[in-house]
Amino acid sequence: MHVLYLIPQDAESPYGNGRALPIATALSQQGHQVTALMLHANFAACTPRNYAINPNLRVQVVAQSHVKKVGNQKHYFGPLQLIWVILTAIIRLVWAGQQQQADLILIGKAQPICGIAGRVLAKSKRIPCWLDADDYEAASNRFGNALQQHLVATYERRLCCVVDRVLTNTDFMRDQIKQWCPRQSIQKLPNGITTDWLDPTPQDTTSRLRQELELPSAVKVIGFIGSLSSPSHPVHLLIDAFAKIHQRQPDTHLLIVGGGEDWQALQKRCKTLNIAQACSFTGRVPPNAVKAFYSLCDVCIEPLLADDAALSRAPLKLFEAWATDTPFITSLMGERAQLYASLDTAIFPTPGNVEALASAIENALEDPTVSGALRRHGKQEIQHYTWDQIVTGLLPA
């Protein structure tokens, strides 16, 4: 089968690198021909724009995405410029897609650019159109005003109802889509990891990284790895929790890996709390370097608020931590409660509670029973969440 996959992010962004390209790669390894048409967060500087990952998978980067990322910062376009970016991207996606043979259109994320282009291509080619809805877009993005959020929410619901099938990675999103579109065909496609994540990180790589970050061997490293964007990742909760931990345990260090629009504000928060000397902000790192940062951490954290953004996600960072044998602390919101169903719920903090988060992190650092249980659970469960297994049977042979 020839699949035309429209992806709204580039190969270094979380969805592009962590879900879309692994799905495309797994499908291509099963014998399907896949063309991935991608948008890029800094299109003007993007090279190469046309390349093959393997004989069955080709990537074309065709236009600028709806946000621009330069260095560690994320920039939002003004209203008129955003309209121009959206229209240009839709036209370029449609033009590139018309040049490709396709039996199926797969739209990545319930967002307007790829959604509109995908529907146009599906109608013109008279082929089925599927949607991969991995997030609750109206709840997990930053919006300039209430009208913009309302328009995105309306479009998200409409797109879920007009495609031929929706793929999603959580029961929460499946139930939401079922409410919006009672007759829709919905298939759960969980997140996972590529098999190379299961290979251990060499000890010398971890030691070299620790030296580069100037971290003494006795220091316990508490890590966050992900986008620094408060609507989906309230990292300020982790910083506040770390301030409490560091006061009680001076031999701790907070390592924040990633970039985003809150990058500078979070550094300022560390200075305000007088913990800047015990915090490292690496900024964005290449995807192939991320694994080593997990291995460096004594514990990795996903701070959460009790909101729909948290309920809608099964975070990639959870599976990546499992794969690298790193204890992972989160709150049991939505899919996470299922993923940790066999463990004592007392290990995990109440969402939004800074003191509870600090206590949970300290328990994972100090109590070998807790850290051991988290490691054993992750090591056992991750074997079921590799992309080659997840994608098996998604398309007919």
> Distance (Å, rounded) from C-alpha 377 to C-alpha 393?
27
pLDDT of the residue at 300: 98
pLDDT of the residue at 143: 82
DSSP symbol at 19: I
What stretch of H or E contains 225?
A: strand 220-225
Distance of CA 176 to the CA centre of its chain: 20
pLDDT of the residue at 21: 98
56-67 pLDDT, tens digit per residue, is 999 999 999 999
pLDDT of the residue at 201: 94
Q: Please tell me whether the peptide bond between 48 and the residue prior to it is cis, using omega within 30 degrees of 0.
A: yes
Across-strand partners of 60? 37, 50
Contacts of 315-321 with C-beta under 8 Å, sequence gap 24+, read 315/191, 315/226, 316/14, 316/18, 316/19, 316/191, 316/193, 317/225, 317/226, 319/191, 319/192, 319/193, 319/382, 319/385, 320/193, 320/197, 320/225, 320/290, 320/291, 320/294, 321/294, 321/378
Helices (H), 38-189: 79-98, 112-125, 137-140, 146-162, 171-180
Bridge pairing between strands 73-76 and 67-70: antiparallel
DSSP symbol at 314: -
Mean pLDDT across the chain: 95
Token output for 2: 């020839």
Bridge pairing between strands 129-132 and 104-108: parallel
Residues of the chain with pLDDT under 70: none
With contact defined as beta carbons under 8 Å apart, do 142 and 229 qualify?
yes
Across-strand partners of 54? 57
Strands (E), 258-347: 279-283, 299-301, 328-329
Domains, the chain? 2-189 (3.40.50.2000), 195-384 (3.40.50.2000)
> Distance (Å, rounded) from C-alpha 213 to C-alpha 256?
12
What stretch of H or E contains 389?
A: helix 387-391
pLDDT of the residue at 18: 96
Question: Which residue do the tokens 């066999």 mark?
Answer: 342
* Alpha-carbon distances, residue 393 vs 31, 115, 396 (angstroms): 12, 24, 7
pLDDT of the residue at 145: 84
What stretch of H or E contains 271?
A: helix 263-272
